[in-house]
Structure 1
Amino acid sequence: MAPALKSQLDSSIQVIEQEAIDLKNKFASPRRSILEDTDDGQLEDIDVIPNEEMLLTLSEKGYLKRMKPSTFNLQHRGTIGKSVGKLKMNDSMSDFIVCRAHDFVLYFSDKGTVYSARAYKIPECSRTASGTPLVQILSLSDGERITSIIPVSEFTDDQFLLMLTMQGYIKRVPLNSFSSIRSSGIIAIQLVPGDELKWVRCCTNDDFVAMASHNGMVILSLCIQIRTLGRNTRGALAMRLKEGDRMASVDIIPAAMWNNLETISKLPESNGKSYDGPWLLFISESGHGKRVPLSRFRMSSLNRVGLIGYKFSAEDRLAAVFVVGFTLAEDGESDEQVVLVSQSGTVNRIKVRDISIQSRFARGVILMRLDHAGKIQTASLISATECEPEEELAIAQG
């Protein structure tokens, strides 16, 4: 029996060797991964979390939500939108931004303090959930309220944070001044009683800035004209506001976009026909909006009255303004989308190309029917690169 068993064993080994050789020849592609030794042999959370796009919403009472962009499908202009979820009593929407999971989110408070936390630290939740209280994420002091949030992917030496308050004070601070923020926060700006930091944007020395007031006045200026100051300063006046007016919005115009802009349009402003972009997208509190070519606005220095950008009815005022036309389709139209958010938390996501191009004095078209949803509280722009292909085809009949 022993010789027979040995013969069977030898035959089995030969078969195994041949199968191994066949597998090697069949799957002879080179290794696609690298085995490396790490310093401590441990993985951080960020190493295993996909850097996906996400939506962040913040309520006035400090409830924060993280959702997928697909939570809100595209809808036709003029529809009523979809609820972002039930808000607490006497609460309303405050801010809405688009970011990525690995981004640092900077939180600016009504006391001029800034806090920082990675976007993925915010628990993901459904559209109808209440959200996570900010006090569970940030070390806020008693009564402290977050007034503005901004995502930052990387703290580079050539970028600045442009800060604008409700009363019109503006300044630039080097972005790397906020690269290391302790858990208790650091000072970002000096505020006087009654004023609050509402808008923060990233810019470079070569960029331009568009600022708009609640009454629809607009100033375009060079970012380099805005003084670079330290964190513990107030800033200079951005716009000469008339009595009862206040700042309403600000956005950055990239240098490349402005350099390609034709300053003299071929068509007269009064005919209401189509113009080449880029454009300023105006959104009013009543849910109306329009696009106006940037070429219809001239450069100005700070602390001026500005030009009329929107002619409002007696009850309406400006909610937000954006520079659109960063990405264009083959037909020369905008590829971007805009998300509108009402005070009650109703959200409408529409294509920018569906918004009419009009003159500075026009009153716009209906973007969102508010009914009992209150006013437009905030809005956010979604670039074409942040839209998944299937999302662009998902037009809800709202």
Structure 2
Amino acid sequence: QSNIIKAEFAEIGERYNDKRRSEIIPISGDLSIEDIIADEEMVVTITHNGYIKRLPTSTWKTQRRGGRGMKGAHTKDDDFIEHLFIASTHDKMLFFTDRGKCYWMKVHEIPPGLRTSQGRAIVNLIGCEAGEKVKAFVSVKEFNETDYIVMATRKGVIKRTALSMYSRPRKGGIYAIEIREDDELIQAKVSHGDQDIILATYRGKSIRFNENDVRSTGRKTMGVRGIRLGTKDDYVIGMLIVKREGSVMVVTNKGYGKRSDLSAYRTQKRGGKGVITIKTTDKVGNLVGIMEAIDDDDLMLITDRGIMIRQAVEKIRTIGRNTQGVRLAKLDDKTYITSATRVLKDEEENEEEEAAETEEE
């Protein structure tokens, strides 16, 4: 029997006795985990309550216009997908907390999930300190010298730091901004070096200025004044970086809001009191949300009782900046809007609208 095996191996050796086709070469330097992970695009979703997951882009098959769409996740009753974007497995995610710290995670380190799964809590993945809350995140392909991280605090401080200064992460996070004890970080976004920034306050004021008015500084610095708050009970509720030349959408805590042309917000020097972005009254309430929106977006309103109200941006009338706005939601007594955000348009709603238009024709 052993002779038969030897004969068969000898025959195989003669039949396939060709030169090696693969080449073995020495590697110079260290081998990182990215070298053995395929560079492929992933869909990353983040919910309003801070749950994250990634899954292959092939999970969402291409459909014809008017299709029913596909459910993106099974979320809790008071949660929904707020952010959905495409990122490479080699990209990096920067997470910024209310205490001014930045935590670093690579996209391939985000736990993969099923299309209908909720995902994992961000705070558990990045190792925040007790009591820290994630306030903002950015996705980065490369830490170049031309882009910046722009941060805004509740007290009206604005800061700009070169993106390249965040290229060396630490396990326990790094300081992104020095914050006073009575202040907190509210937002952080990537800018490209010559964009306009709009800050908005609870009392309905806003200011627009170019980012070059904010000198770029190191990571552990406090920043400069972005807007001068008019009253002690006023504070910054949001920041947007002008990107799409859409309209500016604002929402109050009593369910009023409006769209205004971006051109109505004249460019000023930073540090001023700004202009009225919505007239706040006892009836209208105070400002809780500002965003840049286009007709293809949807608006999601969330109340302090966990009720979510969704509507198409295109159905909200565009009016002047110095006005009270229109009613977006009819609220019960002692019920208030706590936050407002722009979300992806609902495919099923699109189908129903198009079907209705077809019937009318």
Q: Shift of residue 197 of structure 1? A: 0.6
**1:376 match:** 338
Equivalent-residue separation in structure 1 for 2:214 and 2:169 (angstroms): 24
Post-superposition Cα deviations, 1:180-226, rounded to whole Å, max 9, x if no partner, equal 31221111000111211111111122211111111111111111111
Preserved contact between residue 101 and residue 118 of structure 1 (Cα < 8 Å): no
Spell out the pairing of 1:212-251 with structure 2 (5 A cutoff).
Answer: 212-243=200-231, 244-251=233-240
Report SS of the residue matched to 1:184: coil
Post-superposition Cα deviations, 1:92-139, rounded to whole Å, max 9, x if no partner, equal x7994343343533221233210022356145478895x634453112
Equivalent-residue separation in structure 2 for 1:288 and 1:67 (angstroms): 35
**1:55 match:** 45
How has the CA–CA distance of structure 1 residues 140 and 49 changed in structure 2, closer, same or farther, with 3 Å as cutoff?
same
**2:154 match:** 166
Q: Shift of residue 318 of structure 1? A: 1.2
Return the letter of the residue paired with 1:232.
Answer: K
Return the letter of the residue paired with 1:100.
Answer: I
Preserved contact between residue 151 and residue 187 of structure 2 (Cα < 8 Å): yes
Among 119, 133, 136, which residue is 1:148 paired with?
A: 136
**1:157 match:** 145
Preserved contact between residue 237 and residue 287 of structure 2 (Cα < 8 Å): yes
Equivalent-residue separation in structure 2 for 1:179 and 1:305 (angstroms): 35
Q: Shift of residue 84 of structure 1? A: 4.9
Report SS of the residue matched to 2:136: strand
Q: Shift of residue 170 of structure 1? A: 0.5
Equivalent-residue separation in structure 2 for 1:136 and 1:234 (angstroms): 28
Equivalent-residue separation in structure 2 for 1:154 and 1:113 (angstroms): 20
Preserved contact between residue 171 and residue 236 of structure 1 (Cα < 8 Å): yes
Among 271, 274, 281, which residue is 1:303 paired with?
A: 271
Q: Shift of residue 300 of structure 1? A: 0.8
How has the CA–CA distance of structure 1 residues 295 and 128 changed in structure 2, closer, same or farther, with 3 Å as cutoff?
same
Preserved contact between residue 337 and residue 349 of structure 1 (Cα < 8 Å): yes
Equivalent-residue separation in structure 1 for 2:275 and 2:42 (angstroms): 41
Equivalent-residue separation in structure 1 for 2:225 and 2:103 (angstroms): 25
Spell out the pairing of 1:226-375 with structure 2 (5 A cutoff).
Answer: 226-243=214-231, 244-254=233-243, 257=245, 278-314=246-282, 316-325=285-294, 334-343=295-304, 345-368=306-329, 371=332, 374-375=336-337
Q: How many residues align?
A: 308
Return the letter of the residue paired with 1:113.
Answer: K
Preserved contact between residue 97 and residue 150 of structure 1 (Cα < 8 Å): no
Equivalent-residue separation in structure 1 for 2:76 and 2:95 (angstroms): 22
Show structure 2 runs of 5+ residues with no match: 1-21, 61-73, 354-361
1:85 aligns with 2:65: no
Return the letter of the residue paired with 2:86.
Answer: R
Higher RCO, Cα 8 Å, sep 6+: 1
Equivalent-residue separation in structure 1 for 2:340 and 2:114 (angstroms): 20
Show structure 1 runs of 5+ residues with no match: 1-34, 71-82, 88-92, 258-277, 326-333
TM value normalised by structure 2 = 0.71
Preserved contact between residue 85 and residue 128 of structure 1 (Cα < 8 Å): no
**2:51 match:** 64
Report SS of the residue matched to 1:176: helix
RMSD: 3.8
Among 177, 180, 188, which residue is 1:192 paired with?
A: 180
Report SS of the residue matched to 2:212: helix
Report SS of the residue matched to 1:295: helix
Return the letter of the residue paired with 2:183.
Answer: D
TM value normalised by structure 1 = 0.65
1:182 aligns with 2:151: no
Report SS of the residue matched to 2:165: helix
How has the CA–CA distance of structure 1 residues 295 and 123 changed in structure 2, closer, same or farther, with 3 Å as cutoff?
same
Equivalent-residue separation in structure 2 for 1:206 and 1:186 (angstroms): 26
Q: Shift of residue 374 of structure 1? A: 4.7
Among 99, 124, 132, which residue is 2:85 paired with?
A: 99
Preserved contact between residue 240 and residue 305 of structure 1 (Cα < 8 Å): yes
The percent of aligned pairs where both chains have the same amino acid is: 24
